[in-house]
């Protein structure tokens, strides 16, 4: 056998192997059995149930929803519910950065920067009343953000930080 014949034979063998691989890859997968379909339906139900559960077990608003178990997902389609948005989680004004503060209603980038600068210069706010010391935060805005914020720090007395010389 000559060198050219060997190369041709090797080429034909390669084409045959590739043709066999292509047929195996292109062949349809076997249909799932009834048991496999049932197991898949159970897994989909478990995933849907987990998606509807709140991210924190301490969230009591969603306790009733956690107790429900989806048994059959094929009879009635269930809407996909997204997890609570960051707006549902209170923002700790005493530690939040400017970007997080911008998520509050009525607080833009400039006011968020002023809040952070005031906190860094004068300490924690401690309450809505303390937050009102920032220029641009009045009683109306404080009421508007009240349900969206929390405070972990203790506000300093108004005279604290002032240095008095004799």
For residue 117, give the CATH number of its domain.
1.10.150.320
Q: Determine contact, residues 93/146, Cβ cutoff 8 Å.
A: no
Predicted confidence (pLDDT) per residue in 30-60, tens digit: 778 888 888 888 888 877 777 776 655 445 5
pLDDT (0 to 100) of residue 31? 79
Q: Determine contact, residues 131/142, Cβ cutoff 8 Å.
A: yes
In a domain, 75, yes or no: no
pLDDT (0 to 100) of residue 166? 45
Domains in the chain, number: 2
pLDDT (0 to 100) of residue 43? 86
Element containing residue 21 per DSSP (H, E): helix 3-26
SS3 166: coil
In a domain, 33, yes or no: yes
Q: Are residues 60 and 14 in the same domain?
A: yes
Q: Are residues 91 and 62 in the same domain?
A: no
Distance (Å, whole) CA 93 – CA 91:
6
Res. 13: pLDDT tops 60: yes
In a domain, 106, yes or no: yes
Res. 64: pLDDT tops 80: no
Q: Are residues 60 and 15 in the same domain?
A: yes
Lowest mean pLDDT among 30-34, 132-136, 137-141: 30-34
Question: What end-to-end distance do the CA atoms of the chain give, in Å?
Answer: 112
Q: Are residues 95 and 62 in the same domain?
A: no
Q: Are residues 93 and 135 in the same domain?
A: yes
Enclosing domain of residue 96: 87-150
Q: Are residues 110 and 61 in the same domain?
A: no
Put simply, whether the predicted model's pTM sits higher than 0.85 gets the answer: no
In a domain, 74, yes or no: no
Res. 74: pLDDT tops 90: no
Distance (Å, whole) CA 118 – CA 146:
19
| CA 100 to chain centroid | 14
Average pLDDT on 73-96 reads 67
Q: Are residues 61 and 95 in the same domain?
A: no
- pLDDT class of 15 with cuts at 50, 70, 90: very high
Task: Tell me the helices (H) and strands (E) count for the chain, helix number first.
Answer: 7, 2
Residues 6+ apart with CB under 8 A from 114: 134, 135, 136
Say how many CA atoms lie within 13 Å of 127 toward its Cβ.
7
Among 150, 144, 123, smallest CA distance to 134 is for 123
Query: Using the 8-state DSSP alphabet, how is residue 97 labeled?
Result: -
- pLDDT class of 7 with cuts at 50, 70, 90: very high
Is 15 or 82 the better-scoring residue by pLDDT? 15
pLDDT (0 to 100) of residue 164? 45
In a domain, 103, yes or no: yes
pLDDT (0 to 100) of residue 1? 85
């Amino acid at each position: 056998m000559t060198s050219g014949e060997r190369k041709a034979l090797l080429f034909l063998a390669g084409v045959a192997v590739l043709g066999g691989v292509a047929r195996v890859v292109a062949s349809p997968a076997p249909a799932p059995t009834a048991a496999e379909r049932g197991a898949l339906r159970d897994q989909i139900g478990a995933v849907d149930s987990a998606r509807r559960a709140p991210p924190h077990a301490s969230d009591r608003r969603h306790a009733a929803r956690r107790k429900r178990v989806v048994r059959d997902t094929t009879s009635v389609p269930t809407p996909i519910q997204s997890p609570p948005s960051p707006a549902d989680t209170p923002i700790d004004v005493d530690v939040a950065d400017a970007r997080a503060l911008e998520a509050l209603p009525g607080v833009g980038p400039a006011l968020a920067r002023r809040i952070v600068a005031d906190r860094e210069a004068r300490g924690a706010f401690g309450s809505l009343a303390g937050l009102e010391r920032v220029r641009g935060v009045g009683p109306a805005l404080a009421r508007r953000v009240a349900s969206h914020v929390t405070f972990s720090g203790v506000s300093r007395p108004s005279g604290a930080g002032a240095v008095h010389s004799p």
